[in-house]
Every structure is written in C-alpha cells, then in structure tokens.
Amino acid sequence: MARPSIATCDPSARPCLATRGSLPRSRTCAPLLFLCLLLGLTVFCADANPSDSKLLCSRLLPCEPSIEMVRNCKNLWKLLDRKVSVPCRKITTLTRTVTLTELPDKTMEAKCLQGMFELIDSAFFNETKLQEIAKGATEMNVPIYRANRKLVATKNGGLENPSPLVFNPSWNREVQRVQDKRFKYPSASGVKLPRDEEDIAFMSVLELGELIKTRQITSKELVRIYLKQLKRYNHVLEAVVTYTEELAYKQAKEADDLLSQGTYLGPLHGIPYGLKDIVAVPGYKTTWGSTSFKDQFLDIEAWVYKRLKASGAVLVAKLVTGSMAYDDIWFGGRTRNPWNIEEFSTGSSAGPAASTSAGSETAGSMTYPAARCGITALRPTFGSVGRTGVMSISESLDKLGPFCRTAADCAVILDAIKGKDPDDLSSREIAFEDPFSVDITKLTVGYTKDADMKVVEVLGSKGVNMVPFELNYTVESVQGILNFTMDVDMLAHFDEWQRTGQEDLYEAQDQWPVELRRARVVTAVDYIQAQRARGKLIREVEKSFTVDAFIGNVTDWEKVCMGNLVGLPVLVIPTGFKNITDPPTNSCRRRTTINAGIYAPPERDHIALALGMAYQSVTDAHRKRPPIDDLGPDDSIPNPPRALIPPRRLHI
C-alpha cells in the first residue's frame, strides 16, 4: 500500500502533524498542531494541493517554518486575552486567497473562539458571549488555575493532596441508624396566649408549641394568623411565591385531630412554616424563582418536607428564592429587607430570611440574608440534612437549614430534619449532642479580630473561656476554589438550559449567565486540581481549629467561602441595630442590623447552638420587631430607592 502524500511547509521542511501522513520521529510542528486542534483549524500550505488533505474545518491558517509557526501560535493564544495586531499574510482556501488583514481583529478572534467551542460541542454562543467568556476566563479562571497548580500539582503520582470527593460503591441504601436521641427541650410552661395576634406571630417555636400542647390555640387558628401576616406584608417584602392555603388548613386539621385523640408529636406539632421555593412539594409549583421554570410542577416530595410533615409542622407558603438560587432577584421582583425596605434582603434565601422559615446555602445564601434581615439562622454541618427533591447547585456544597427567631428554635428544627436521606448519597446520620445540655463553662471559644466584642463580653460573663484566635491556612485560592466547584457543578445541572438559550430569559444577566458561560471552559483537570486544593484547605483548617468554637464576622466573603468548602456549621445571631445611613428624619424607624457568627467544627453544631442560646438568654436583639411598612412620621420609600446597592456578589 502506497504511503499517502504529505503536505509540507516547503520541500525541505519536516512533515506537518496537522496533515495526513505517518508521524515522523523527528521534531515536528507540534506546537501549531496543538493550537489547531484546540481552535478547530486545519493547516496546509499554499504550495500544497488542498485535495490531498482531509480538512478538519473551513478555518485555515498558513503553515510556515518552525520559528515563525511558534510565533504565530503565541499570537493566536493572545487572541484569548486581548486584541493583537495580525500580520499581513496570504491564506489559501479551497475557493480563494485572502489576506489576514482583510479580517478585523475582532472577527479573527471570534472565529478562533468559535472554532475552539466547536471542539467541545458548544457552538451555541454568539460572538458577544464568546468575547465575554474569553475576557472572564483570562481575568478569573487563569489565575485560579495557576494558584491551584502551584499549590497541589507540583508533584506527580497523586500521593499527596487527595480530593475530598470520594466514591462509595455500596448498593446498600439501608440507613445505619445511630442511637436516636432527641434533644431534651426546655419547658415553656406558664406561657399564656397573648390577646394581640401580632404578639402571637412573633412568638418562638417553643412558645407556640406550648400554646398548642395546652390547647390555648389550635393549629387552624395559627394558620389563619400567619397567612394573614404574610398577605398583609407581602406587597412590601415580595417574599412569597405561592400560598399553600388549602394544604395548610388540611394539615392543621390533621394536627388538631391528632391532639384531640391524645397524640402530641412534639414542639413542631401544628406549627406553621414556609419553604424556600427550590424544595419540591406535590401539587404546588416549584419555580426555582426563574422565568424559565415559573410554571413547573414536580411530583416529588422533598425529604426535608417529609421530615417536617412527620413532625406535625404545617406548610403555609413557598417562599422566594433568587432566580435559580442566586441572590434576591426573582421572576416576580426583588425581595426586601423588613428592617429597611429601601434595601433588598440579599442572598437566594431571600424569602425565608424576610419571613423566617427554612432555607438553603451553597455560598452565603443563609448567612448574608440572615445578617441583613436581623434573624437567627443555622447553616448546619454539610450532609446533616437530606436534599432529595431540592434543586441542586453543587452536591458537595448545598446545605439546608432553618431561619428562626431564636437559637433554641433552630435547635428544634435541626432535631426534626437531620438524619440520613437514603436517596442523598452525601447525607449522613450524625449523632449530634443535645445543645440544651452543653456545659458552656467547659468550652474554650476564640474570637477573631473582626468579632463583635459584645458577644465576647456576654459569653465571658457566662463563664466561657474566651481567647483571641485566628484560623490559619496557606491556601490562597479559597474563593476561586469555591467558584470553580459551584459553577461547574451548577452548569452540569443546567447544561440544557444554557445550550437551548434559556439563559437569555434570566432575570439578572450579570449573574448565572455570566458565571456559567465562564464555567464552560474550566477543564476537567483544573476542576480536580481545585478539589485537591480544597482537600488541603480542609486538612489545614482542621489542624488550626484548636478551640471549641470561635466568634467572627459572618459576612466576610473569605470566611463564607472557607466555611462552605470545609463544611463548617455557623450560627448567625443578631446582636443590635444602628441608624441607617442618611435617615430622612430623626424619627425614622428603619435600622441597619448588627450581627455575629458562631463557628464550630463539623458535627459540632450543638456547640454553636448552645453558645447562641446562652447569648440570647441575657440579650434581646432577637426579640425586636422590624418596622416593615411602619416607617415613622415623614418617612417614605422613594422609588427608585436612594440607597446604593453594592455590586452583587455570589450569594448562593
């Protein structure tokens, strides 16, 4: 069999690897081949017969002697970074000869980018989006690549820095039960039913539970009160997506009937609550806050909904999530902060934070809105609450947790929803100790430089050993690791949404659309390197976490990213209030909340809860009521708001 002809750069040049022919052992034009394969280009020369070569695509480049080829390779790589000048050379195509200077720089750049994206079967982006991806990849992806490679990829063999993402081949889905000890809730005996419905609405879970247990009020009556409150304020807060009124009264009747028969299910028996609208409930829309999914019905009963229903709780509403669980903008508007309705609640658990309920966090969606709205919230240890039936951003980051009035309420909710979900491989049966039985005087608790010193002083006065503390680690790419992990995982879950152009309907184009387009060009290798760097971070944080817990700023972005990557629990507590900036009158009732975070090691949520309960036992910031629409004399909310909203950051 005759060897096929080889198109060469000139009669004396070595064969070019981008053309047909056997591969020579001598030095070749490998740099150019690599670039051409990446960009979807085919190389051949003006003096070669095009019919002798099988073209990979119609975009062509000249093949020249090796030094010039390397120079051209470097120039083409620069197209991904910035505009460059293109030398005037001839390109021979199947139909005609053109010069590169006939093509504008932007057009050449777009063609190169289009060729590259065709190789990864992603030729559905227009030129504008391609330019945006190239800019974003250069400014954000590349520095993260380099930082992670330097951190964990300088040695071969995989003997160090393993990824924390572990494969479990077991087919056994039977839950290995740990000793099931329920928390011992403190008695709320002596609680009397207030006359004012507003006072009832602001009672704690344990107080409401006592009213139900002693039959001072029925679940049906509580449902009526809470639905009335939601409907009264929702036009201001924009916190409710769907009222589950029919279901609520049905569940309330079941709770009342059980109690009349002598069956009491515990402190959540007959208590109204809401769910973030990424949690599926049969018979009701699960919109994910998005125009693309606003009419979606999922015939799934989410695990967390099952757990709450089994505890006797009554669902009254599906609450706002930012579109596809990003920030506070959704298809119906933008959720506001009840303490200052000129501000927005921030974070995708916007509705739960504005009305107290159950929410979720991947990267700040509980901590930020809880801090902004002045309520107590627990982001639990990763894996402690099952996520079946909940929209997923990242299987290794997503967490579900409560927004409540008090730390004690958060403990009650955690006790109800924790446990192994058979269909959620990352969930676990964790034997939490009873937070109501922790002796805080035996704890050593650190406080960072940015901690609220009021919390430090109060806990110190309660007998806690308070010490200065800083969590130290060498990983510098923490925020980038979180972005890579979250964005790539999210794109895997919404690949079809992007490929079919539904991203163009998204409510805030500077959010998921930009993030997920950039995620499209994160390589598999660099994703795994990010996970290896994450593993290094986890081990360093474990070594440095030498206290039982620490007090720190809960909205510091580095702490948010670190905590979510490591899986740390954190309790957000309100600690006070201050006047808003530039109030319209001296009698303005709007306030800016002050808050703190109590961080604990994984599976030590009970320590954070115990410290939070101790703090709240002698303070009252958590009992304050927001003005919402009761703004005070001569105060009104201008439209559009005067308050400057800072650039959005990932609050997922």
Which of 111, 129, 276, 399 is labelled catalytic? 276
Please give the full DSSP string across 473-501, using - where no structure is assigned. Answer: -----HHHHHHHHHHHHHHHHSHHHHHTT
Count of C-beta atoms within a 10 Å radius of residue 604: 21
Tokens of 111: 């063609």
Q: Which of 365, 392, 394, 396 is catalytic?
A: 365
Active-site residue (options: 204, 290, 323, 348): 348
Amino acid in position 493: H
For residue 103, give both structure tokens.
Answer: 């093509």
Amino acid sitting at position 370: A
- Measured torsion, CA atoms of residues 516, 522, 527, 533, in degrees rounded to the nearest 10: -100
- Using only C-alpha atoms, the chain has a radius of gyration, in whole angstroms, of 29
**What pairing do the DSSP bridges indicate for beta strands 376-379 and 399-404?**
antiparallel
Q: CB of 597 within 8 A of CB of 564? A: no
For 96-108, letters b (16+ CB in 10 Å) and e give eeeeeeeeeeeeb
In whole angstroms, give the CA distance from residue 639 to residue 167. Answer: 52
Between CA 398 and CA 486 the distance in angstroms is 9
CB distance 202 to 625 below 8 Å:
yes
Distance CA 236, CA 184 (A): 39
Residues pairing with 447 in the sheet:
468, 551
Whole-angstrom Cα distance, residue 185 to residue 267? 8
Asked if 393 and 323 count as a contact pair (C-beta separation under 8 A), the reply is no
3-class DSSP state of 99: strand
| 74 Cβ contact list (under 8 Å, min separation 6) | none
- CA 506, distance to chain mean position in Å, is 17
Could you say which residues of the chain have pLDDT below 50?
A: 1-66, 68-103, 647-652
**pLDDT value at position 322?**
86
Q: What is the pLDDT of residue 158?
A: 57
pLDDT at 617: 95
Map residue 390 onto helix, strand or coil: strand
> Annotated catalytic, 276?
yes
By residue count, the chain amounts to 652
Instruction: Tell which residue, 478, 477, 485, has the closest CA to residue 522.
Output: 485
Token pair 């820095």: residue: 161
Beta pairing, strands 465-468 & 399-404:
unpaired
What does the CA dihedral 60, 65, 71, 77 come to, rounded to 10 degrees? 30
Report which DSSP code applies to 462. T
Write the CATH number of the domain with boundaries 197-471+545-630. Answer: 3.90.1300.10
Name which of 215, 204, 308 is nearest 264 in CA terms.
Answer: 215
